[in-house]
Amino acid sequence: MDSPNWELRGCCNRNQNAFLITIGIFTVVILLLWRTFLLTPFKLITVFLHEASHAVACKLTCGDVEGMEVNANEGGSTTTRGGIYWLILPAGYLGSSFWGMALILASTNLLTARIAAAGLGLALFIVLFIAKNWTLRGLCIGFIVFLAIIWVLQELTTVKILRYVILFIGVMNSLFSVYDIYDDLISRRVHSSDAEKFAEICPCCTGCGWGVIWGMISFAFLCASLYLGLVILS
């Protein structure tokens, strides 16, 4: 078995070029449609992954998740009890950035794209049982049906788009995560934001300062997804 081509010698082959070009096209499409309703479901999936990351951090630190909401205005909340609060707070923004990277990398292979689609569908199904509003319930049901249709098309027809759908969700999630950090934590400084709450328990930085740090980490996840994707495809 060949060792990974970390230096990217001979870049870029056909698959690597297709990977970069597709991400570029998706990025342009997302920016052009940013203010339209067409992207709203995908923005809400990013909010879902943000809130789900809070929930995962809570469970991993022995807490309980009492409920979750995703709102039509692209906001959300997760009600937790117990757990390690200073790990739960940053998990939202950083977690959604991580999942964006994971989805981008999963799209490089059909098997991993199938795993990613199944994992996302399972997460949506589980959250149905703790959802506190109908926006989140509708989002979960809608995307489960959407992923099921894409899966059937992939397996039973000539429409092989599963990898592209997973890549689009990954790119959308990565871009929206970075934008959300800038909009909520740096430019407007929402005083009820995770960063402001985190600054209260870790006052070595202001909420804006933590927003900048988290934004840099999120951007690093985005860059890492491009680099690692090229390594996988080399």
Encode pLDDT of 6-28 as tens digits. 989 888 899 999 999 999 999 99
| Start-end of H helices in 33-107 | 40-60, 85-106
Given the structure tokens 């407007």, which residue do they identify?
Answer: 188
Neighbours of 161 (CB within 10 A): 13
Q: Tell whether the model's pLDDT for residue 68 goes beyond 90.
A: yes
Query: Cis omega before residue 12 (within 30°)?
Result: yes
pLDDT at 189: 57
Q: How far apart are CA 87 and CA 40, in angstroms?
A: 29
Q: Tell whether the model's pLDDT for residue 1 goes beyond 60.
A: no
Alpha-carbon separation of residue 179 from 58, 65, 92, 147, 216 (angstroms): 25, 27, 14, 25, 11
Question: Between helices 110-127 and 134-156, what is the axis angle to 10°?
Answer: 150
Pair of tokens at residue 119: 């994992």
pLDDT at 74: 87
Q: Enter the pTM of the model.
A: 0.92
| Model confidence band, residue 3 (pLDDT cutoffs 50, 70, 90) | confident
φ, ψ at 130 (rounded to 5°): -120, 5
| Model confidence band, residue 188 (pLDDT cutoffs 50, 70, 90) | low
- CB-CB contact of 102 with 229 (8 Å): no
pLDDT at 187: 61
Pair of tokens at residue 129: 């049982």
- CB-CB contact of 229 with 105 (8 Å): yes
Pair of tokens at residue 123: 């997460």
Secondary structure (DSSP) of 120-144: HHHHHHHHTTTB-SHHHHHHHHHHH
- CB-CB contact of 164 with 36 (8 Å): no
The secondary structure of residue 71, as a DSSP letter, is: -
